[in-house]
A and B are shown apart, each in its own frame.
Chain A
Amino acid sequence: MATYKIQIDDKVRNATADEAAQIEAAHAEAQAELEAQAAKLAARQAVLDKLGLTASEAAALFG
């Protein structure tokens, strides 16, 4: 497991194993959110490609 530093108020220290696991879980969840967002963007782009529109043209159409 990687080493992480955490801060509690003004004190910085290395994360314990449990705290490091929580940070890694948070990072994994955030990565899943990014991937879900990327998938939505890809799906939208596929529709735009089908319609032959650029993102700017779509923005002009739909605001």
Chain B
Amino acid sequence: MANTQTSVPAFTAGQVLTAQQQTEINTGIPVFADETARNNGFGGTGEKVLAEGQFAYLEDSNTTQYYDGSAWLSVGGTFALTLISTTTIGSAVSSVTVSNAFSSTYDNYKIIISGGAGSTDGSLKMTLGATSTNYYWNGSYGGLNWTNTINGDASGGITSSLGVGLFSANSIFANIDLSCPNLAKVTSYASQQVRTATGGFFGTFGGFLNDTTQYTAFTITTSTGTLTGGTIKVYGYQNS
């Protein structure tokens, strides 16, 4: 890259600077290929001693960093949520599998399913990997219309999937927080969902999968009917 440099020089009084050195100065923030190059760019013979307030740009991660006196930190801080994948739901599908959603990089995940539409009113069920037993869950509903009588529990229990979302003829929605799907622990979840219809309702569900399998994939299946359009976005919560 045109701006890449390998050192941040310290100049002496009266020193004649080369064109390359002038160019590096003109860049402003020194640009390095990666962390290794950045670390090697300070403290050597003829180089600046690394000190608090120093900035650097890393090409491999496209990040600007500053040195706080003991460590390099990213400008703007670390984002709490990182988008891992976006899956666009196809036409008239009964289930959608998202592979490679979970890894050792994150312990906890947020999954948002939104947009699109169902072929009818229905709910969204989640399974992890190929597991179809030992899902424990329940939840409660509240009617969006005073006159309906939907208020009550979701009648979950020990089933072959987790209740995680709702859909209608004009939308699909689920907001799911999933804990430890890729760790050797039980996977637990909590979700909120809304069925957007004049007789619709919201729901809050929670539960867990009672095994310690380390999962990388999940599948969303309809309770009835099909889904068309919308997206399934998977985010990872930063571990630290």
On A, residues with C-beta under 8 Å from B are: 4-10, 12, 15, 19, 22-23, 25-27, 29-31, 33-34, 36-37, 40-41, 44-45, 55-56, 59
Contacts and interface: CB of A to CB of B under 8 A. Distances in A.
Interface string B199-240: 000000000000000000000011110100000000000000
Interface size class of B (residues with CB under 8 A): 35 or more
Main secondary structure, interface of B, reads: loop
Given A5-B90, A7-B95, A22-B132, A27 B223 contact: yes
5 smallest beta-carbon distances between A and B, as pairs:
A30-B223, A12-B90, A37-B155, A36-B155, A4-B94
B36 interface: no
A5 B226 contact: yes
Contact of A5 (B92, B148, B150, B152): B92
Contact of B87 (A9, A23, A56, A59): A9
B132 A8 contact: no
A44 B152 contact: yes
Contact of B93 (A5, A27, A33, A56): A5
Given A9-B99, A37-B155, A26 B160 contact: yes
Interface of B: 87-99, 122-123, 125, 132, 146-157, 159-161, 163, 221-224, 226
A9 B93 CA distance: 12
Given A7-B89, A26-B160, A26-B161, A33 B154 contact: yes
Contact of B94 (A15, A36, A59): A15
Given A26-B223, A56-B147, A59-B151, A8 B125 contact: no
A31 B146 contact: no
Nearest to B220: A7
Contacts of A7: 87, 89-90, 93, 95-97
A23 B149 contact: no
